[in-house]
Amino acid sequence: MKHCNVPIHQSLFEWADFQSATFNFNQPFSLRLLEGEILQARTVVRLLPKRRMVVFGQWQGKPVVAKLFFDAHHAKRHCEADAKGMKNLHERKIPAPKLYYQGASEDRRVHVLIFEKIEHAESAQTVWENRRNFESILPQASAMLVEIAMQHVVGVLQQDLHFNNFLIKDKIVYTLDGGQVALFPYLLPKKESMDNLALFLAQFGVGNETYQRQLFLDYAKLRGWIVKKEDVSELFLLIKRINEKRWKKFSKKILRNSSGFLRIKTWRALTILDRRYQSEEMLQLLADPEAAFQSPDRHMLKDGRSSTVIKVTVSGRALVIKRYNLKNKRHWLRRCLRPTRAANVWRLAHKLALFCIQTAEPVAFIEKSYFGLRSVSYYVTEYVSGMQVNDYIAAHQSEEAKLTDMVYHVTALLKSLAKIEMTHGDLKASNILLNHQALPVLIDLDGAMEHYSLFGLHQAWQKEIARFLKNFKADSFIMKKFQETLYSR
C-alpha cells in the first residue's frame, strides 16, 4: 500500500472528526484514503453536519472538488448514488466534472468522490446574486435553459434543480450533482418536462414573468412543441405551486440551526442570525443589544413610544437595529403569548428576499422572554442608503425619463408584492427608498401582512394603493403616471 505524508499544519481527519464538525467548521485538513494517498482539503464549500461535506482541495497534485459522505448509516449508499448519477451524465454526453476517484477513507467509514475542479467558472447562483437586472444575466439563463432542454431530450431529469447545481464557464453549463438524477429510456415526456422546467423558472422569483414566458417559448422551440395558450397558463400555475412549496420549506429553515442560520436559544432569549454576518463583534451585540442603544457611537434614527431605531457599525457593516418597545404591563400581557413583531418581520422579509423583492437585508432578530412569555424584541437589518421617493421626485423634477423609470420600478415592486399575496400595510412614500441604481427598496415591514384569500388580498390592495397615491396629491404628473401603471395589466 502506498502511504503519503500528511502536510505540515494539517490535521489528519478520521470519521469521528467529521461527525463532530458543526456548521461553522472551515479549516484545512487531510484525509488518508484506502489506497494510502492523501486528500488535502483546503476550503469547506458545504457542510451538512453528521452527513456530508464538499471541499476544495488537492489530490495527486491536482486541484479538485471532493464530496465526503460520513452518515453513520447511509454514507455508502449516498456516495454510490451520486457517483452513479454523474456516470450517467457522462454516458449521455451531459457536461459534468470528471470523476477522478471513487472510494473510501483508510478506516472505510468516510466514502469519497473526487472530481476535477473546473477553474475560472461561476456558479449559476453567484451569477444570479450579482445581476444588475434580468437582462444582464439573460445569456446565462438561456444557456442553462438550452442545457436543461438537451438533458430532457436524452432522458435526464434533475429532480433537485436549483442554481447551485450549475457551473458556467465559456458558455458551457456543467451539472454538479448526480445524487438526484433520474433517467428515462427515451426523451422526457411533456408532463415531466413541464414540471421540471417550472422548477427551474421558479428560481427567478416574481416580477420576471415576461422573461419566464420567453424562456419557456425558447424551450418549447428546442423541443419542437406547438405552444398553446393553455400551456403558458399551466406553466405559471406550476410555478405558483412550486413557489408555495419553496416558501413553506424555507420559512422553517429561517427559524432553525442550519447552514444558512445560527439559532441560539436560552431560557431568557431566542436569537436567529444569518451566518454570513457571524463575527465575534456581532455575537457580542446579539448577547447584549441594549448596550448598542446606550453606546455614544450609535446614531438615533427614531425614538418613538412603540419602537426605537438606531444605526450602528458592526464588523465594518452599517446596520439598523429596531427595538420593539412594550408601552406598559397591559401591552405586555396582550403580546406575551403571540409571536413578537421582530419575528414576524424577520419571516416576511425573508419571504420578500426569496422571491426577489427588494427589502433591507435581514441580519438577525432577538426576542427576550421570561418563563416562556415573550417580551421586548429586536430586529437587525443592513442599512439601506438611498433617497425617499418624494425626495427623488423633487431632485429630478425636470427629468421626465428618470421619473417615468422610477414610477415603472416602484409599480413593479408593488405588483410583485401582490403576486406573493402580501400587502405592506403602511405604504408611505418614506417607506420606499431608491438605492444607488435608482431601484426601489421596501423598508419598515411592521404592518406587512400575508393574505389567504383573493378577496382579502384585493380589498387590502385597493386600500393600500389609495393610501400610497395620497403621497402625490400635490404632483398631478406623478399621480397620473402611478395611476396609469398601477391599474394597467
pLDDT of residue 315: 94
On whether residue 202 sits in a domain, the answer given is yes
On whether residue 275 sits in a domain, the answer given is yes
CA proximity to 367, closest of 280, 255, 279, 448: 255
349-353, 378-382, 446-450: least confident range: 446-450
Q: Is 50 exceeded by the pLDDT of residue 1? A: no
CA proximity to 272, closest of 290, 288, 260: 260
- The β-bridge relationship of strands 62-69 and 317-324 is unpaired
If asked whether residues 392 and 476 sit together in one domain, one would say yes
- pTM of the predicted protein model: 0.91
If asked whether residues 373 and 398 sit together in one domain, one would say no
- Grid coordinates representing 479 are 399621480
Q: Which of 116, 133, 160 is the last residue of a domain?
A: 116
If asked whether residues 49 and 81 sit together in one domain, one would say yes
If asked whether residues 20 and 108 sit together in one domain, one would say yes
Task: Kindly give, in sequence order, each residue whose CB lies less than 8 Å from that of residue 207, ignoring residues fewer than 6 positions away.
Answer: 356, 357, 412, 413, 415, 416, 419
Summarised one tens digit per residue, pLDDT across range 224-263 is 999 999 999 999 999 999 999 999 999 999 999 999 999 9
Q: Which amino acid is at 30?
A: S
If asked whether residues 231 and 151 sit together in one domain, one would say yes
Structural domain including 373 reads: 261-382
Summarised one tens digit per residue, pLDDT across range 387-440 is 999 999 999 988 999 999 999 999 999 999 999 999 999 999 899 999 988 999
Q: Which of 92, 116, 140 is the last residue of a domain?
A: 116
Q: Find out whether 271 and 365 touch, Cβ atoms under 8 Å.
A: yes
If asked whether residues 248 and 137 sit together in one domain, one would say yes
- Grid coordinates representing 245 are 412549496
If asked whether residues 361 and 442 sit together in one domain, one would say no
pLDDT of residue 474: 86
If asked whether residues 165 and 181 sit together in one domain, one would say yes
Q: What's the Cα-to-Cα distance from 318 to each of 140, 282, 384, 433, rounded to whole Å?
A: 32, 12, 9, 16
> Domains in the chain: how many in total?
4
If asked whether residues 404 and 442 sit together in one domain, one would say yes
On whether residue 359 sits in a domain, the answer given is yes
If asked whether residues 246 and 283 sit together in one domain, one would say no
Question: CATH number of the domain that 131 lies in?
Answer: 1.10.510.10
CB burial of residue 346 (10 Å; 0-12, 13-18, 19+): buried
Summarised one tens digit per residue, pLDDT across range 22-36 is 998 989 999 999 999
If asked whether residues 111 and 126 sit together in one domain, one would say no
